[in-house]
Amino acid sequence: VRLLDGKPIAHAIRQKVQQQAVAYREAGIIPTLAIVIATTDAQAAWYVRSICKAAEACDINALVIELSSDAKTDVIAAELGSLANDPTIHGILLQTPLPDGVVIDDLLSLIPSEKDIDGASPASAGQLLYGLPAFAPATAEAVLKILEYYEVPLPGRRAVVVGRSRIVGKPVAHLLLERDATVTICHSRSRDLGEHTRTADILVVAAGKIGLIQHGDVKSGAVVVDVGTNVTEDNKLVGDVAADVAEIADLTPVPGGVGPVTTSLILQHTLISVDKLTK
């Protein structure tokens, strides 16, 4: 069994990103990513800080636009609209959670596809589903990058995804399907979760529930990607998969698995946007 470390993958992506970012700066273009945040949620703040840190290390400019945690839809919409039209901005992230009463669907369409570096808008999701060029949600792509790096074969193999959110579960399932895996999606209404997960050659868990997947829920020799990030009472970051699963299966660590690859892909997508927008 192997520890599926995300750090070497993140490192390789960031090295390339930094070289490209420096080249753009020499050509007078400052690759810039804008993050709109309107929450005091600690985990969201932690995520935004980690993106900013990684951006800085890669010579990408990260512009954090902090709005009040009771900002109304029109204020956030106006901000997104001006970022969409600003030629110095190459990527836009809208951080969740949003203030109470703000409906995310009223906002995501305001992010133009070419700046939608986390594949969050309905247009990007549709393009992706149709196999047309679009950014995939970075977390979903990170799962596939990890499987690719550790040479996990996918065609014809049984993949089970736990979670069906727009930003993780569904796009992961789609990307696995595109690579010819046979995919099952489980969710909170699935009966006998373990019965499904035990069939998996590849198990991707993105539920946000500590200890959801236990030793007995995993087939020996399986490959398990733990997307979950949960903060424990003593302020530790843990995934959804019990640690002893690593005794029988290849497992991504939390932290240090999907997370660093995700942030690196956000930066890589920003540079792809720079390329498209400055041509």
Exposure string for 90-100, b = 16+ CB within 10 A, e = fewer: bbbbbbeebbe
Of positions 51, 71, 168, 272, contacts ligand NDP by CB under 6 A: 168
Neighbours of 136 (CB within 10 A): 23
Q: Tell me if 209 contacts ligand NDP by CB under 6 A.
A: yes
Residues binding ligand NDP: number (CB under 6 A):
26
Of positions 165, 198, 237, 238, contacts ligand NDP by CB under 6 A: 165
CB 65 within 8 A of CB 124: no
Residue with smaller CB distance to ligand NDP, 140 or 152 = 140
Residue with smaller CB distance to ligand NDP, 115 or 196 = 196
Residue with smaller CB distance to ligand NDP, 35 or 168 = 168
Structure-block tokens of residue 51: 């993106």
Of positions 178, 208, 215, 219, contacts ligand NDP by CB under 6 A: 208
Position of tokens 């400052």? 30
Q: Tell me if 206 contacts ligand NDP by CB under 6 A.
A: yes
Residues 124-163 that bind ligand NDP (CB under 6 A): 139, 162-163
* Edge-to-edge order in the sheet of strand 223-226: 182-186, 158-162, 202-205, 223-226, 250-251
Smallest separation, CB 261 to ligand NDP (Å): 8
Q: Which stretch binds ligand NDP (CB under 6 A): 49-57, 59-67, 71-79, 225-233?
A: 225-233
Residue with smaller CB distance to ligand NDP, 189 or 279 = 189
Q: Tell me if 259 contacts ligand NDP by CB under 6 A.
A: yes
CB 47 within 8 A of CB 86: no
Residues in the chain: 279
Smallest separation, CB 187 to ligand NDP (Å): 4
In a 3-state reduction of DSSP, which class is residue 184?
strand
DSSP H/E element including 8 = helix 7-26
Of positions 10, 36, 54, 167, contacts ligand NDP by CB under 6 A: 167
Q: Tell me if 76 contacts ligand NDP by CB under 6 A.
A: no
Phi, psi of 106 (to 5 degrees): -80, -10
Of 112, 66, 76, 71, nearest to 92 by C-alpha is 112
Smallest separation, CB 164 to ligand NDP (Å): 4
- Angle at alpha carbon of residue 39, lines to 49 and 107, rounded to 5°: 105
Q: Tell me if 186 contacts ligand NDP by CB under 6 A.
A: yes
Residue with smaller CB distance to ligand NDP, 32 or 262 = 262
Identity of the amino acid at 236: K
Q: Tell me if 270 contacts ligand NDP by CB under 6 A.
A: no
Smallest separation, CB 51 to ligand NDP (Å): 10
The span from the CA of 160 to the CA of 181, in Å, is: 10
- For ligand NDP, the binding residues (CB under 6 A) are 139, 162-165, 167-169, 186-190, 193, 206-209, 212, 227-230, 258-259, 262
